[in-house]
């Protein structure tokens, strides 16, 4: 089933919609990113609920993050996270060398300024997924050379 | 799956590198991916309902967005399916229901209710993946939740030189037994009309 393509088309159209009705400028851009992130959050919450219905309880925070990197990422993006790093103090960096939602955009530095738009939803997705697993976090993303990107997860102690 | 633990020091922070290597991906429930689309679509409709005052506006937006998706989806479809040119509208309807719907949504609507002139038909969807987990609240009774689909069909067919009118005739979300999409062939489009986003 080519559902991955369908999701990508929808994702791109959502971004166009959110941005089309706004003006240019820092404030507006931030607002749009927030809207996209919030949408991703809701979806992430729902997805993880369905996904972990029959999964065993997670041992610890690292276990949760590995689940996100392997099972969750594979289900959503058909591949695992390529590299997970942590300082064991609540910060995790997830590196995807060929992020599916960026491969269509460019290979390299072209359109770099647009990359954040294509990452916002996924940041929310991760944050939402973690949230429903009982982990509160802040998720940001950075790109230097597409289609590789890094998602940074900062666990918030509740 | 092999996990390697290595100590690396970057900028004074101590990061342990946990490399996740998987020999092969686990047999994940493929259904999960259609849920990503379904849930994202739900989030979109929710956002639209927040942005627009009335259901009619939301319906219009969904149709527009569907159109924009359709004009791009057709290329993806033709690349994946390597289907040749359809001889007539009947063949087009068959391809839409048996190949396209199956490919993207995993369902095969039945094609029925042909008009005598052969220019209008119904696609009956026994189940509609877009509406999994969805209930329409009372104050959104005129919302055509899946209206994106109409736009997608319209946009995609326009790219293969067919102008069609597509709308929902029945909707399980609004209490009907089945979901019925009514599609009417309007005319053939001249090749040199440029396509544009709406």
Q: Which helix (H) or strand (E) holds B76?
A: helix B55-81
Note the pLDDT tens digit of each residue in A108-122.
888 888 899 999 999
Query: Distance between CA B152 and CA B147 in Å, rounded?
Result: 9
Note the pLDDT tens digit of each residue in B11-43.
334 455 554 443 333 334 445 567 899 999 999
Verify whether the Cβ–Cβ distance A21 to B51 is below 8 Å.
Answer: yes
Q: Residue B176 has what pLDDT? A: 92
Which residues sit opposite B185 in a β-bridge? B164
- Chain A contact set for B22 (CB, 8 A): 70, 74, 80
Q: Which residue of B has its CA nearest to A79?
A: B25
Verify whether the Cβ–Cβ distance B33 to A11 is below 8 Å.
Answer: no
What is the domain class of B34-188 according to CATH? alpha beta
Bridge pairing between strands A83-86 and A91-96: antiparallel
Note the pLDDT tens digit of each residue in A72-116.
999 899 999 999 999 999 999 999 999 999 988 888 888 888 899
Q: In which domain, by residue range, is A105 found?
A: 4-155
Q: Residue B55 has what pLDDT? A: 95
Q: Which residue of B has its CA nearest to A76?
A: B33
ipTM of the complex: 0.92
Give the pair of three-digit tokens for residue B129.
């993946």
Range list of H helices, A52-114: 61-67, 73-77
Going from N- to C-terminal start, the domains of chain B cover 34-188
Name residues 127-186 of chain B within 8 A of A (Cβ).
133
- Chain B contact set for A21 (CB, 8 A): 51
Spatial contact of B71 and B162, defined as CB atoms under 8 Å apart: no
- Chain A contact set for B17 (CB, 8 A): 83-85
Q: Residue B33 has what pLDDT? A: 66
Which residues sit opposite B164 in a β-bridge? B185
Closest Cβ–Cβ partner in B32, B47, B76 for A75: B32
Query: Distance between CA A99 and CA A77 in Å, rounded?
Result: 8
Q: Which residue of B has its CA nearest to A15?
A: B44
Verify whether the Cβ–Cβ distance B35 to A83 is below 8 Å.
Answer: no
Provide the whole-model pTM. Answer: 0.86
Note the pLDDT tens digit of each residue in B118-158.
999 999 999 999 998 899 988 998 999 999 999 999 999 99
The residues near A20 (Cβ < 8 Å, ≥ 6 apart) are: none
CATH number at residue A17: 3.30.1380.20
Q: Note if the bond before B104 is cis, omega within 30 degrees.
A: no
Say yes or no: A14 contacts chain B, CB-CB below 8 A. yes
Query: Distance between CA A71 and CA A65 in Å, rounded?
Result: 10
**In chain B, helix, strand, coil percent, each to 5?**
45, 25, 35
Bridge pairing between strands B110-112 and A149-156: unpaired
Q: Residue A29 has what pLDDT? A: 86
Q: For testing the chain A interface, which of B28, B43, B102 should be mutated: the one with the most A CBs within 10 Å?
A: B43
Residues above pLDDT 70, as percent of chain B: 80
Beta carbon pairs, A and B, within 8 Å:
127
Query: Distance between CA B44 and CA A82 in Å, rounded?
Result: 30
Say yes or no: B19 contacts chain A, CB-CB below 8 A. yes
Neighbours of B74 (CB within 10 A): 19
Name residues 29-68 of chain A within 8 A of B (Cβ).
35, 39-40, 42-43, 46-47, 50-51, 62, 66
- Distance between A22 CA and the closest CA of chain B, angstroms: 12
Number of folded domains in chain A? 1
Verify whether the Cβ–Cβ distance B40 to A14 is below 8 Å.
Answer: yes
């Amino acid at each position: 089933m080519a559902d991955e393509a369908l999701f990508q088309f929808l994702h791109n159209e959502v971004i166009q919609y959110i941005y089309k009705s706004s003006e240019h400028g820092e404030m507006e851009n931030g607002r749009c990113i927030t809207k996209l992130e919030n949408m991703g959050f809701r979806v992430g919450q729902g997805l993880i609920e369905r996904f972990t219905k029959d999964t065993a309880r997670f041992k610890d925070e690292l276990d949760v993050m590995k689940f996100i990197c392997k099972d969750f990422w594979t289900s959503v993006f058909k591949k695992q996270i390529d590299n997970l790093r942590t300082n064991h103090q609540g910060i995790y960096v997830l590196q995807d060398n060929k992020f599916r939602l960026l491969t269509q955009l460019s290979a390299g530095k072209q359109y770099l300024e647009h990359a954040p738009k294509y990452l916002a939803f996924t940041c929310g997705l991760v944050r939402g997924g973690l949230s429903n697993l009982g982990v509160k976090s802040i998720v940001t993303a950075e790109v230097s050379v597409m289609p590789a990107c890094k998602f940074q997860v900062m666990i918030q102690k509740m | 799956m092999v996990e390697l633990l290595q100590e690396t020091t970057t900028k004074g922070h101590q990061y342990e590198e946990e490399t996740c290597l998987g020999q092969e991906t686990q047999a994940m429930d493929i259904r999960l991916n259609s849920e990503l689309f379904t849930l994202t679509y739900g989030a979109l409709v929710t956002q639209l309902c927040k942005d627009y005052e009335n259901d009619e506006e939301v319906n219009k937006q969904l149709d527009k967005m569907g159109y924009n998706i359709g004009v791009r989806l057709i290329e993806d479809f033709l690349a994946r399916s390597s289907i040749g040119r359809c001889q007539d509208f009947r063949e087009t309807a068959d391809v839409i229901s048996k190949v396209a719907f199956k490919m993207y949504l995993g369902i095969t609507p039945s094609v029925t209710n042909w008009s005598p002139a052969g220019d209008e038909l119904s696609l009956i969807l026994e189940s509609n993946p877009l509406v999994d987990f969805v209930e329409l609240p009372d104050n959104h009774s005129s919302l055509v939740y899946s209206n994106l689909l109409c736009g997608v069909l319209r946009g995609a067919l326009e790219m293969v030189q067919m102008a069609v009118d597509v709308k929902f005739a029945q909707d399980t979300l609004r209490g009907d037994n089945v979901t019925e999409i009514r599609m009417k062939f309007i005319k053939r489009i001249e090749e040199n009309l440029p396509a544009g986003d709406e």
